[in-house]
Amino acid sequence: MNRFETALVHAGRDDFREAGVHAPPIDLSTTYPVADLDQGTASFDALVAGQASAANPIYARLHNPTVARTESALARLEGTEACVAFGSGMAALTAVLMARRAHGGHVLVVRPLYGTSDHLLASGLCGIEAEFVDADEIAARLRPDTALVIIETPANPTLDLVDIRAVVAAAGAVPVLVDSTFATPVLQNPAALGARYVLHSATKFLGGHGDVIAGVVCCEEPLAQPLRTVRAATGGLLHPLAAYLLHRGLPTLALRVERAQANAREIAARLAAHPQVARVFYPGLGTVRNAALAETQMRGPGALMAFEMVGGHRAAAMVMRSVALMTPAVSLGSVDTLIQHPSGLTHRVVSAADKTANGITEGLLRLSVGIEHVEDLWADLAQALDRAAADGCQKAA
């Protein structure tokens, strides 16, 4: 079997020689001719029922060959039988929640996690009751109608790590979903640790260039079929052009993650020594919950970190205003470095009490380190920190 780096380049390309192509083709058809009605009817029934393919794609909402190739590649990278791609990470999570409703209306969730995921779960919009618990409470909080356990590790934005094996053991027969967006399959494979669903906001590292919005769920084929049925009914299919961009970016994923991680290790160490920074949250420094998992469950600490500014909100806002090379923007995992304020942006929809309980303060900034030269990144960040200090942000505001 090919090693991971080789699979990154070649996965999802099994039919290229037969098709006579070298680069991934893009099929933009919205509909497909049905010359044989009986075959068309059978294909329609198969796709609506969640089958991965059929003799005729019928209609792009039901199936697209370009998307299918990308799904095949990602399933290979996560070591699962199947992958189902959606128009965004939130569409992917929504589909899982809708599919699990047939098994019960109760979901256990470990915080922190991405702010919009938190909001969706807390709102009950998908007809489920989300109960937020600590990881060590899962076994005690299971109910007969518990249909899913959800964790995000590393967690957004504090980089807390959650022991996937321990959660799977505590959940018993209840499937566990791991949002592995921060880690990518380069650094972590939750399915190998017992997770039944592996979710990625593919907008982030998998796409890697800030030009595609996508979400994927990697899982066993029996779990994938209901997801495809939901996708077909709700119109959540990933657009083929986005699938093409996602597939095109995969060959460089390991190179991008490894370079960004090397930069992040250095930036985190320098931040930890800076007088304007009260605390750095980074697994590589041992400053997050269960940090040791970065070297056991994971294959490295990753390229994300958060840091608490001396001076609170005022200082954080000054840093965002002062960076020139880094981009002050939400999202993460791009080739360029992004910095943002979780409390005011990605986690703004989370209640103030829940943000406080999970360490999401007004002085917290999240940094997604890119692949630029580390000295250029540090020069930009250091001057922004100095401006915060010069602005009088010397103590918590």
Quick: pLDDT tens for 75-106. Answer: 999 999 999 999 999 999 999 999 999 999 99
- Mean residue pLDDT across the chain: 96
pLDDT band at 393 (very low <50, low <70, confident <90, very high): low
Give yes or no for residue 379 having a pLDDT over 60: yes
At residue 27, φ and ψ (nearest 5 deg) are -100, 105
Q: What tens digit of pLDDT does each residue of 39-82 get?
A: 999 999 999 999 999 999 999 999 999 999 999 999 999 999 99
Percent of the chain residues past pLDDT 70, beyond the cut: 98
Q: Give pLDDT, residue 113.
A: 97
What is the rounded distance in angstroms from the CA atom of residue 327 to the CA atom of residue 305? Answer: 15
Alpha helix (H) residue ranges in the chain: 4-10, 16-19, 37-48, 65-78, 89-100, 115-123, 138-141, 164-171, 184-187, 221-234, 240-249, 253-272, 312-322, 352-357, 374-390
Q: Give pLDDT, residue 2.
A: 81
Residue with tokens 């401006």: 387
Domains of the chain in start order, with CATH, are: 253-390 (3.90.1150.10)
Q: What tens digit of pLDDT does each residue of 302-332 get?
A: 999 999 999 999 999 999 999 999 999 999 9
Q: Count CB atoms within 10 A of the CB of residue 144.
A: 6
What is the rounded distance in angstroms from the CA atom of residue 101 to the CA atom of residue 35? Answer: 38
> For residues 216, 114, 250 and 267, what is the CA-based torsion angle, rounded to 10 degrees?
-170
Mean pLDDT of 156-173: 98
Mean pLDDT of 324-343: 97
Q: Give pLDDT, residue 394.
A: 59
Which positions are catalytic?
Answer: 61, 114, 179, 204
Q: Give pLDDT, residue 19.
A: 87
